[in-house]
Amino acid sequence: MKSFTNVVQEIRKSIAQVLVIPLLLDGVVVFLALYLVVAFFSLSVWLALAPALAYTLFLLYRELRINTLKLVERYYPNLHEKLTTAADYASVDDAMVDELHKEVLQDVKGVATSSFVSRRKLIGKTFTCILLCFLLLSMTQFNDQTLLIKSKIRGGINDITARIIQETNPEAVIFQEQNGSGGGAGGGFNADIFGDKSLAKLGDEELDVEIKPAALELKIGTVKEAEKKDFVDVFPNEVVIESSQTYEENIPKEQQELVKTYFKKITEG
């Protein structure tokens, strides 16, 4: 029966698609877990993405190599040895082989792809993804508490590092104490491998700055006094007020002399 070859290919394709879903969820869980640690220590996202991607590809390679027909026979004992035998003779035209193909086709109709996936595991992995996403959002929401926890973890790492160095190489501690680079008033060993963030103090001297708006240059140094300049007092001999031409044009000619006399008296008073 030539059509049985298509049936075998369809079975393998369907089972492979069902097996891929849990593997992808495993990769997402690994990525979120690693990214939680990476984001906590402010590291590169590739430190979480690369291992998760490699792990997912490894799972896909391992699962896709599984003999899907054997897997079906494992879950459905009534197809044991019959399905693989029928697949081996899928292209053979024979009365007995055709009868076997018809019998297997009848039994394959009762195969459910959902039986190859554990619903409990899928729900557990989905819930884990949601929980990790919630933790990532909480870490960004409560940034102050995160920084406090981070500082405590760094302090613990520094203490462990100091103990290891003191136990494995005590001469380094003695050398550091002799050179005065130890922490604290009594010398000691400085195991702070991360260091504290601080601003550099450039100096405490007062600087005089002169700003010239025209050139926009800074002149740091001596401040000079303003130069004295001689000004000449020149006043006009006579102050004359002239009316506007527009104003005169609006006044009739017979009244212009009267208006001039009025304004003249006002200025003199």
Distance from C-alpha of 93 to C-alpha of 2, rounded to nearest angstrom: 8
From the list 25, 23, 45, 26, the residue with the least C-alpha distance to 36 is 45
What pLDDT score does 5 carry? 81
Residue ranges per structural domain of the chain = 3-141, 143-178, 241-269
Question: Judging by DSSP bridges, how do beta strands 209-212 and 217-220 pair with one another?
Answer: antiparallel
pLDDT for the residue 26: 93
Q: What is the pLDDT along the chain (269 residues), one digit of tens a residue?
A: 567 788 888 888 888 888 888 999 999 999 999 998 888 777 888 999 999 999 999 998 888 888 888 888 888 888 888 888 888 887 777 788 888 888 888 888 888 888 888 889 899 999 999 999 988 887 766 665 666 666 677 777 777 877 777 777 655 555 555 554 444 444 444 545 556 666 566 666 666 766 665 554 555 566 677 777 776 666 666 666 665 555 555 667 777 777 788 778 777 76
Strand partners, 211: 218
Burial state string for 144-174 with b = 16 or more CB within 10 A and e = fewer than 16: eeeeeeeeeeeeeeeeeebeeeeeeeeeebe
Q: What is the pLDDT of residue 184?
A: 42
222: amino acid identity, one letter: T
State residue 95's pLDDT score.
81
| Under 8 Å between Cβ of 132 and 32 | yes
